[in-house]
Chain A
Amino acid sequence: MTVLVAFVAAVLFGCGTWLLMQRRLTRIIIGIGLLGHGANLLLVAGGGRPGRAPIIGADGAGEFADPLPQALALTAIVITFGITAFLLGLGYRSWQLTQDDQVEDDVEDLLIARLEARGSSSEPTPPEHLPATDFEVTRPEVDPRSESTP
């Protein structure tokens, strides 16, 4: 690995990270693409110095390039493509629903955050204060403290 390659990888990761933290799905997808490129660059360059294509019997001189990182990177390239395609599907769906691709705050998370601090489980009635029977004819009176709904 040379300083130059490391620097290029750093730029790819930096730009990818920057885009990943945006609110637009398109930018996030492009950010993931850049991160993928950065990772593949590290993988292949980290595998050693440039060399001859690892095809046995082909013409040429010098050492073979390491084939294993190449195989790993090839897998990674195709997977990144699959992810990109899927995320574009999400973006398309987002456009269908909102005419935009803004990544909104998670509604469920916001609901959880808004939950009152007082819980649904407070100290229950001591058993001494409960009706002394299993066969209540009327519906059991409900302890308001233990029935507060979120």
Chain B
Amino acid sequence: MLGPLCSPDRQSSLHMILAILTLHFVLGIAIVVAGDRLGRRGFAVAALAPALTLIWLVTRAGEAIDGRPTVQTIEWVPQLRLAIDLRLDALGVVMVGLVSGIGLMVCVYALGYFSHPKPGTGRLAGLLTAFAGAMLGVVLADHLLTLFVFWELTSITSYLLIGNDDKNPRARDAALSAILITGAGGLALLAGLVLIGQSAGTYRLSELSSTTPVGATVSVGLVLVLAGAFTKSAQVPFAGWLPGAMVAPTPISTYLHAATMVKAGVYLVARLSPVLADVGIWRIVILVGSAATMVIGGWRALRQHDLKLLLAYGTVSQLGFMMLLFGMGAYDLAQAGVIVLIAHGAFKAALFMVVGVIDHEAGTRDVRKLHGFGAGWRPIVVVTVLAASSMAGFPPLVGFIAKEKGLDAALHGSFVGATFLVVAVVAGSILTFAYSARFVLGVLGRLGTADHDPISRQVDPPTWTFVAPAVLLAAFSILAGLAPVLVDDTVRAATTSLYPDSTPRTVVLWAGFNTAFALSIVIIGAGTALVALRRPVARAQARFHDAVAPIPDSDRVFWAIVTGTLRVAKRSTRIVQNGSLPIYLMVILSVAAIAPLIPAVGALDGLPDFVSTWAHLPIAAVIVIAALGAAAVRRRIAAALMLGAVGFAMAAFYVVQGAPDLALTQLAIEVLATVLFVLVLRFLPRQFTDPKTTVTSAIRLVIATVVGASVFVLALVSSAARDDVTQQPVSAEMLERSVPDGKGSNVVNVILVDFRGLDTLGEITVLVVAGLGMVSLGRLSRRSRTDGGSPFERLPVVDTSANLLYGSILVLSLYFLFAGHNQPGGGFVGGLTAGAAISLRYVAGGISAVRNALRLKPWTVLGGGLLISATTAVVPLVAGQQLLEHADLEADLPLLGTLKVTSALPFDVGVYLVVIGIVLMAYEAFGDDAESDGEQRSGAPAPAEVVGR
């Protein structure tokens, strides 16, 4: 289990990473199973997982920050370089801290939020835990494919979380939108990761940094990877699903759409940028796409009345910001990115929690309906101001440090597009400042309108446990801002883990009067102006949106694609799936006949002999005439008898061909099949009364002819191909080994019960299933009746001769069974012969005579046979040999002489019983009884007793 990467000193915690992940999934599933029995208490149980993760993180974080990551490798398919590689480095510490830290807060918060839980709340807690496990997997995976698996797990669990309220059509639509967009991105990501992994020669993230993958493959691969990252992190043009996902309960939105899942794309870009930023169009795509995301997200956030939607669009904007910082491939920008990652997690989670608290207490989060809160709400107001200031980049909060650092690094950027980056970040930050201010004003009630009653002032303040998580997060925002030394080590180590050769500078609150600070002043000034002039700004925005309304946005395009696909699917289904079996068959058969015909005609190389033996001629004549007759006649019984005639002629053909076993089998089958046909067809109308539809008949005739022609050509081509093969046929060895290894001289039987015994075992299983199906269908309505059908007359002549013949035919069948290993015969032939004997009993005495014959239930015989064969096959396994391994036993018995018993015999006995069983089943299913005097004579139980149960 231990990979080569694991040095001995880390072995103590080797399996801890895997244990942590497993804990999340097991706990999550357990909570889902417990479901509403736990209700909101599910979140208390769920809190266990992030709490334990944090404890573990504390024990490992020191080493990871010192540059000694914890590594775990579980080899899977070394030849394919497939392994489950897990690794905790400094950036991992940051991400795990975010995922589990905020996860813990959310669990506590949810306890307050779901004070009146609806059905499904318990499931929500379980899914949240499983999601957290998947997210931890993403940030701990060191193998690109391991990462991908967890990535998809986050998509799936988030789909379930968004759509948890499955009775709400909006939740379903939002979940569908999320899974379709992130799922499509996931597929692109997989392709991209494989392309990059193959080009780089390694799938390990930690080894990727020492490679320089270049070339067209990588250029294509990175675009696909970006498609995955952009869909996951809601970048333009794939941002539409994120605001829609706000239909989820606020604790879920807090966790998924603020702190964790949407950051997966950012995280992936952060990991790959050091290697890929200079390759292909990586940087251009991110510059354009994420700058647009940052500005458009901020612009739309400014227009929202719903506080939660404001935050959603704000998140889109911030994700664009992070993408820009991490995607350029510059270490100082990435360092700013790490700070934003931390700062954003704290302030955005706090703000979402505030929204949830307001919604929970006031029943709305529409700023137009909020008119400020009473005195008890002061903690919430303080949290709002602090967290929003951090979001706005206002000193002395940690958000200010992050933005300042980003601006500074962008100003010093040495890549093409650095200036554009500065402009984009400044524009986005102005909007961010403005919507942050709008959020604060909304909470303070300054945006409330007169046409709504100022009810919010009378609303009771929330309990302190409900507010505590948000308070803690806001406190972190201010503490980390005032004392950046708290996060400095971690941030620098995380940066070095991405850029090993870099020397990141210390994180400080005050970096002096520089250009970045001047830009911050501009941002704050312009942002304040936007807020002060909010009415004209809103009017201008509305005019702008009215003007661009005809242009479909990405959301409308997405749904047009979805509905269009469904419409096309339904139309084509109507044509293709029309419900008519003949039409389905016509299509299938035409393709099956024509497709191979085209190459086969080309391969046809002259005709072989017309006949090999003249004995074939009369047989062929019978088969052809009978087959055509079966296709043409309009009487049911006649058609069945024609089929029987074909069968008897086939038996003759087998004799000529040198296949006595086949001939015997075919003969016995024909007898039984004919009886079966008669048993069933006697119920059905005498004639086929198909309406004569000439057009379809002509089409059928054409298809039938084409199929025939195709078979003709294929038969000639394939048999010619066989003659060309110079190697010995497989059966040559079977002929040689039959006696020494199989202990039987009938090679066909040895093949059936020994060389290819597993096939036979499968085959008799099919027979058993068919028999069970048949008897279930046949007996379905019989239970309601007292008798098995209309009794028929007993004839003394038949009675007597049947009694005489029954025994002798049964003996013959046993002979076939026991001699079959060395002479023509075997289990199949024996069983079918016994079936013929049973048929005689039926003819004489009806179903009760058949029942009397064996006194065993048909299904007992059928299942018993299968059991015997299967046991024979499995016994060698117990003895440590192979399945169906041959064994034999020789014994001298008095009177009988030397008896040789091979393991093939019990196997064949099983086959024998299965075949008898199916014949018994057939009579049980379709048979009638003879007149009742027969019962009296034989003393059999009345059939009603047996059947009527």
Q: Which residues of A contact B (CB under 8 A)?
A: 1-24, 26-27, 30-31, 33-34, 37-38, 40-42, 44-46, 48-58, 64-68, 70-71, 73-75, 77-79, 81-86, 88-93, 95-96, 100-101, 103, 105-110, 112-128, 130, 132-135, 137, 140, 142-143, 146-147
Distance of A58 Cα from B566 Cα, bound (Å): 68
With known contacts A24-B688, A77-B669, A6–B716 Cβ distance under 8 A: yes
CB contact between A132 and one of B365, B555, B571, B926 (< 8 Å): that residue: B365
Flag B687-725 by CB within 8 Å of A: 1 or 0 each: 010100000000011011101110110011011101000
Task: Indicate if the CB atoms of A20 and B690 lie closer than 8 Å.
Answer: no
Of A2, A101, A118, which one neighbours B567 at CB under 8 angstroms? A118
> Does B944 sit at the interface, judged by CB under 8 A?
no
Name the interface residues of B570-610: CB closer than 8 Å to any CB of A.
Answer: 570-571, 573-574, 577-582, 585-586, 589, 607-610
Q: Would you call A56 and B747 a contact (CB within 8 A)?
A: yes
Chain B residues near A85 (CB-CB < 8 A): 673, 676, 770-771, 774, 918, 921-922
Known contacts A9-B711, A55-B822, A113-B574: A78-B669 contact under CB 8 Å: yes
A137 / chain B contacts, CB cutoff of 8 Å: 363
Complex interface: chain A residues within 8 A of B640 (CB): 26, 30
User: Closest residue to B249 on the A side, CB-wise?
Assistant: A134
Chain B neighbourhood of A37, CB < 8 A: 623, 627, 646-647, 650
Bound: A143/B169 CA distance, A: 8
Number of A-B contacts (CB under 8 A): 396
User: Which residue on B lies nearest to A127, using beta carbons?
Assistant: B243
10 A-B pairs closest in CB distance: A14-B708, A109-B579, A1-B719, A65-B658, A89-B774, A132-B306, A10-B712, A105-B579, A123-B559, A89-B777
Query: CA A124 – CA B175 in complex, angstroms?
Result: 12
Known A20-B589, A66-B729, A109-B579; contact A53-B660, beta-carbon cutoff 8 A: yes
**Contact at B650–A40, with CB atoms within 8 Å?**
yes
B739 CB within 8 Å of chain A: yes
Bound-complex Cα distance A128 to B685 (A)? 67
Query: What is the minimal beta-carbon distance from B113 to any residue of chain A, in angstroms?
Result: 9
Q: Which of B152-172 contact A (CB under 8 A)?
A: 168-170
Which of B69-77, B398-406, B628-636 has 4 or more CB atoms under 8 Å from chain A? B628-636
Chain A nearest CB from B132 CB (Å) reads 21
7 A-B pairs with CB atoms under 8 Å apart are: A4-B610, A26-B684, A50-B657, A67-B747, A73-B662, A77-B665, A85-B922
What residues of chain A lie closer than 8 Å to B875, measured between beta carbons?
none
Judge if B613 is at the interface, Cβ distance under 8 Å: yes
Per-residue CB proximity of B532-543 to A under 8 Å, as 1/0?
000000000000
| Contact B639–A26 (Cβ < 8 Å) | yes
Which A residues touch B738, using CB under 8 A?
56
Tell whether, in the assembled complex, residue B774 and residue A1 are in contact, meaning their CB atoms are under 8 Å apart. Answer: no
Interchain nearest-CB distance for A75 vs B (Å): 5
Say whether chain B's binding surface is mostly helix, strand, loop, or mixed: helix
Whether the Cβ atoms of A92 and B926 lie closer than 8 Å is yes
Contact B666 A17 (CB under 8 A): no
- Closest CB-CB distance, A113 to chain B, in whole Å? 4
Q: Residue B360 at the A interface, CB < 8 A?
A: yes
Does B620 count as interface, using CB distance less than 8 angstroms? yes
B363 touches A133 (CB 8 A): yes
B677 within 8 Å of A by Cβ? yes
Cα(A89)–Cα(B780), bound, Å: 10
Residue B659 CB within 8 A of the other chain = yes
Stretch at the interface among B27-35, B119-127, B490-498, B759-767: B759-767
Q: Which residues of B contact A113 (CB under 8 A)?
A: 573-574, 577-579
Q: A55 contacts B745, CB within 8 Å?
A: yes
Confirm or deny: B145 has a beta carbon within 8 angstroms of a beta carbon on chain A.
no
- Residue contact A140 to B168, C-beta cutoff 8 Å: yes
Residues from chain A with Cβ under 8 Å of B676 in the complex = 84-85, 88
- Say yes or no: B309 contacts A128, CB within 8 Å: yes
Is B730 engaged at the interface, CB distance under 8 Å to the other chain? yes
Near A by CB (< 8 A), chain B positions 647-689 give: 647, 650, 653-654, 656-662, 665-666, 669, 672-673, 676-677, 679-681, 683-685, 688
The interface bits of chain B over 899-928 (1 if a CB of A lies within 8 angstroms of the residue's CB, else 0) are 000000000000000010010011001100
Shortest distance from the beta carbon of A21 to any chain B beta carbon, whole Å: 5
Task: Report the minimum CB–CB distance from B99 to chain A (whole Å).
Answer: 23
Q: Which residues of A contact B669 (CB under 8 A)?
A: 77-78, 81
A127 & B309 in contact (Cβ 8 Å cutoff): yes
Question: What's the least CB distance linking B23 to chain A, in Å?
Answer: 29
Rounded to whole angstroms, the CA-CA distance of A19 and B82 in the bound complex is 53
A67 → chain B, closest Cβ, in Å?
4
Q: What per-residue 1/0 map shows which CB atoms of B303-315 lie under 8 Å from chain A?
A: 0111111001000
Interface centre among B250, B665, B824 (most CB of A within 10 A): B665
Q: How far is the CA of A21 from the CA of B585 in the complex (A)?
A: 6
A140 to chain B, nearest CB (A): 6
Chain B residue nearest to A95 in the complex (CB): B683
- Whether A124 contacts B173 in the complex (CB less than 8 A), given A68-B734, A70-B662, comes out as yes
Q: Within 8 Å CB of B805, what residues of A?
A: none
Are A15 and B304 interface neighbours, CB within 8 A?
A: no
B176 on the interface (CB 8 Å rule)? yes
* Contact between chains at B247 and A130 (CB < 8 Å): yes
With A10-B712, A17-B707, A78-B915 given, is the CB distance from A54 to B570 under 8 Å?
A: no
Say whether, besides A95-B683, A130-B170, A133-B364, A4 and B824 are in contact (CB < 8 Å): no
Residue of A with least CB distance to B305: A132
- A5 to B650: give the CA distance in the assembly, Å: 11
Q: Is the CB of A132 within 8 A of B630?
A: no
In the complex the two chains form, what is the Cα distance from A23 to B628 in whole Å? 18
A126: chain B residues within 8 A (beta carbon):
555
- Chain A residue numbers with a CB within 8 Å of B562 are 121
Write the chain B residue with the least CB distance to A147.
Answer: B169
**11 other A-B residue contacts (CB within 8 Å) besides A19-B631, A27-B688, A79-B763:** A1-B608, A17-B703, A34-B630, A40-B662, A68-B730, A74-B828, A75-B763, A112-B574, A117-B570, A130-B247, A143-B170
Cβ–Cβ < 8 Å partners of B570 in chain A: 115-117, 119
**B215 contacts partner chain A, Cβ-Cβ < 8 Å:** no
Contact A54-B658, Cβ < 8 Å, known A71-B748, A93-B777: yes
Does B556 touch A at the CB level, under 8 Å?
A: yes
Minimal Cβ-Cβ distance residue in B for A1 = B719
Q: Which of A2, A42, A74, A115 contacts B752 (CB 8 A)?
A: A74
| Complex interface: chain B residues within 8 A of A112 (CB) | 573-574, 577
Known: A68-B731, A71-B756, A132-B366. Contact between A88 and B658, CB under 8 A? no
**Is B609 touching A2 in the complex (CB atoms < 8 A)?**
yes
Residue of A1, A88, A100 touching B716 (CB-CB under 8 A) = A1
User: What's the minimum C-beta distance from A46 to chain B, rounded to whole angstroms?
Assistant: 5
